[in-house]
Structure 1
């Protein structure tokens, strides 16, 4: 009698165990299945956030004076804010490209063995139709020019790789990209090594002085080629804020000193209708109207 009871109990336990195991396998399979087929870029617009966050929580480090703000909301259409550990950017769905990129560059980030793997890829946090695609650049004659430079992230391969998202890229003439633009990026890294920390805001300008679109990639007439680029640099020196703003026309430039590109933050804001340092202290606001002294 005890044998039959024990046998029944054992059989019941085995059946229960097998069913629970089957349920567990089914749940894991379903999770993996939906994880593979679910396309995060297909989220209905109703449920999409104006601010899109990656796994790295943004703490304001990349934009310590606040994210740049559009003073004319219609100019850029819907703007998505994308936060990454290395940079924060504002992306225009109208242009399908970034309108600004903020970085906090530290001297230790420039040291390391991370390499450029040149693996460009579409922005995974944006839907097709509001982002640039690899096909937009194919046989276009333009470089995929970085806004936040890959060489700013030598200490971490992941951060270096993340600089190759097309949201951090705009069409650039090769002579410009490999010329004056590269020279400016290298000078900024030299300053970072000297001063340990520099905030950099990089700004492509898509509209010329007459509010006309100057150039398009020929086979894709809604991907605009910037006609100018601004870089705004901010650093601290003994408790004082120092600003430099550079304006470079998107063309080949040789034998020209970077100092000749100095301008004011106010001019950058006028041409882009963006407020780049919305939270700068009142005592420092006058700096935006002044051409800074070229740093040693």
Structure 2
């Protein structure tokens, strides 16, 4: 097991008409379709009263443009903290149960029209030729029951430069496992992001991709935390026996055939690396217990 605390310098813990828009997109009117969707489901909501933030706002993100490197976007499908300086999300947080799962085809990648005026809006072309995958933080298959949900996860604010072997290997393995749990009746509260700087893909190591005037940061690792509730349980049932799956994986080649279980760590490890405060709404004794343990199932 990698000692992530020697790779990343630990930080002090903080502790304590949708259909009309889609029709326009399908008809080829990109600008009009994006505008319709943005107006109806994609504009940031300043409130943090969201099921997707039910376990906390780990970086204390706010929907204020002055908070440009920790800018909160809350949508019906998920919540995220966006980093304008890096042109990627710090984290994306979402609830997952069987009601979100369907069989819709993948949507096209699109610039996020909901970002504040004057901010660079990453395009799919920024990734072309980089060797890195357009890696979803909230997976496409976690939001394919309704067209507006499917489109929402293809806005480029939900995408990071991800090594193909990370994205298509153990990362995808954990994504599929979480959906299996959801189909079995579990409800999951998941948060994912990147950490550090510099990954390796088909064209070798890179710290950034895209245009030199608006570089997109390449994380050194990807991490995910999934709190798993048993069928019939609610948030009030979270206790020391609740399962918490935490992983951190190098954003490198050569790991495609590895099992996601090889990368399990504790929430405490991710907190030390990122400086975020996870599970902050839980009672202290339960939070501390869950954050210290490493999943072994």
Q: Same fold (TM over 0.5)?
A: yes
CA offset digits 1:43-97 (Å, max 9, x no partner):
xxxxxxxxx95479763201211111269xxxx9631111111111000112111
Query: Contact (CA 8 Å) 2:186, 2:229: kept in 1 or not?
Result: no
Task: Find the aligned partners of 1:57 and 1:69 in 2 and give their Cα distance.
Answer: 15
Task: Find the aligned partners of 1:162 and 1:156 in 2 and give their Cα distance.
Answer: 10
Task: Note the C-alpha offset of 1:164.
Answer: 0.3
Max Rg structure: 1
* Structure 2 portions without partners, runs of 5+: 1-31, 36-41, 62-66, 199-204
* Structure 1 portions without partners, runs of 5+: 1-35, 40-51
Q: Secondary structure at the match of 2:130?
A: coil
Aligned equivalent of 1:125: 114
Aligned residues: 236
Task: Find the aligned partners of 1:235 and 1:282 in 2 and give their Cα distance.
Answer: 19
Query: Contact (CA 8 Å) 1:140, 1:219: kept in 2 or not?
Result: no
Aligned equivalent of 2:6: none
Task: Find the aligned partners of 1:203 and 1:229 in 2 and give their Cα distance.
Answer: 6
Task: Find the aligned partners of 1:88 and 1:77 in 2 and give their Cα distance.
Answer: 16
Aligned equivalent of 1:188: 178
Aligned equivalent of 1:150: 140
After TM superposition, the structure 1 stretch with the greater mean CA deviation from structure 2, 272-281 or 214-223, is 214-223
TM alignment of 1:5-20, pairs within 5 A: none
Task: Find the aligned partners of 2:211 and 2:86 in 1 and give their Cα distance.
Answer: 15
TM-score, normalised relative to structure 1:
0.71
Report whether the alignment pairs 1:292 with 2:295: yes
Counterparts in 2 of 1:148 and 1:65: CA distance versus 1, 3 Å: same
Q: Secondary structure at the match of 2:290?
A: helix
Task: Find the aligned partners of 1:290 and 1:64 in 2 and give their Cα distance.
Answer: 21
Aligned equivalent of 1:215: 207
Task: Note the C-alpha offset of 1:275.
Answer: 1.3
Aligned equivalent of 2:269: 267
Query: Contact (CA 8 Å) 1:66, 1:279: kept in 2 or not?
Result: yes
TM alignment of 1:1-296, pairs within 5 A: 53-54=43-44, 59-69=49-59, 78-110=69-101, 112-117=102-107, 119-126=108-115, 127-207=117-197, 215-217=207-209, 219-220=211-212, 222-237=215-230, 239=237, 240=239, 241-252=242-253, 253-284=255-286, 285-294=288-297
Query: Contact (CA 8 Å) 1:143, 1:174: kept in 2 or not?
Result: yes
| CA RMSD, 1 decimal | 2.9
Task: Note the C-alpha offset of 1:207.
Answer: 3.6
Q: Of the two structures, which has the highest relative contact order with CA contacts closer than 8 Å and spacing of 6 or more?
A: 2
Task: Find the aligned partners of 1:255 and 1:133 in 2 and give their Cα distance.
Answer: 30
After superposing on structure 2, the runs of 4+ consecutive aligned residues of structure 1 that deviate more than 4 Å are: 55-58
Task: Find the aligned partners of 2:139 and 2:48 in 1 and give their Cα distance.
Answer: 19
TM-score, normalised relative to structure 2:
0.71
Task: Find the aligned partners of 2:281 and 2:57 in 1 and give their Cα distance.
Answer: 9
